Amino acid sequence: MAKDLAKAIGYIYVDTGAMYRAVTYYALTQNIWDENGVLDTAQLETKIPEIEISFKLNEETGKPDTYLNGICVESEIRGMEVSSKVSEVAALPFVREALVAQQQRMGESKGIVMDGRDIGTVVFPDAELKVFVTATAEVRAQRRYDELLSKGSPADYEDILRNVKERDYADSHREVGPLRQAEDAILLDNSNMTIPEQNAWLLAEYHKVVDQEE
């Protein structure tokens, strides 16, 4: 939804969730989790300055891909292994501090559409337009299930649904940058909306802000 809006209005799109996924993927590939599944947070903190995340437009899809230290990891960060661990990484204050700083630098010149779980409350509390998008856990799990299948990746609906619920709980209860709706955000429940319907709704909300400013 955010990607489509950015494309329609000529803005830059930044997927902040992908940034936390990229850090999680980095930790997995660098064996910063031990054999017992315990994350070595001290080691990760020393590595944070070495982690550079960027986005580049994919000419075939017309949408941005996520790059970790210059290597495209768009497919790798969407798998269940990363999904099951990203909330743990995203809850770490030093990770959030580093990535929020990167995100704020990206937005200094404005002209961006950014999505993530703390954008309207922490990263850009003064954003001109904030939309808190939600849907039932079952609908979101089905969407992720369909997305993984379309990419040829193995997927189990019940595992995905459990992960969605666990991430919602973890992200809404963490101490730093918890998931919550900003007081001035517009609520959109798109559980029963088609993609064209939600895109039209969002574009209309964007024009309300732009037209008012003009």
Q: Around Cβ 179, how many Cβ atoms within 10 Å?
A: 19
Cβ proximity of 5 and 203 under 8 Å: yes
Contacts of 194 (CB under 8 A, 6+ apart): none
Residue that has been written with the tokens 């024009």 in this structure: 207
Query: How are beta strands 71-72 and 112-115 bridged, if at all?
Result: unpaired
What integer pLDDT is reported at residue 106 of this predicted model?
Answer: 84
- Number of residues that this document lists for the chain: 214
Q: How many CB atoms lie within 10 A of CB 178?
A: 15
| DSSP string computed for 56-101 | EEETTTTEEEEEETTEE-TTGGGSHHHHTTHHHHHT-HHHHHHHHH
CA angle at residue 166 from 65 to 96, to 5 degrees?
A: 55
Q: Give pLDDT tens digits along the chain (214 positions).
A: 998 999 899 888 888 899 999 999 999 999 998 888 899 999 999 999 999 998 887 888 777 889 999 999 999 999 889 999 999 999 899 999 999 998 888 888 788 899 888 888 888 999 999 999 999 999 999 999 998 899 888 899 999 999 999 988 988 888 877 888 999 999 999 999 999 999 999 999 999 998 887 6
What residues contact 199, with CB distance under 8 A and at least 6 apart?
1, 4, 5, 8
Cα 171 from Cα 167, distance rounded (Å): 6
Name residue, tokens 């709704």: 201
pLDDT of amino acid 214: 62
CA atoms within 13 A on the CB side of 99: 31
Q: What is the structure's pLDDT at 44?
A: 96
Q: What is the DSSP letter of 33?
A: B
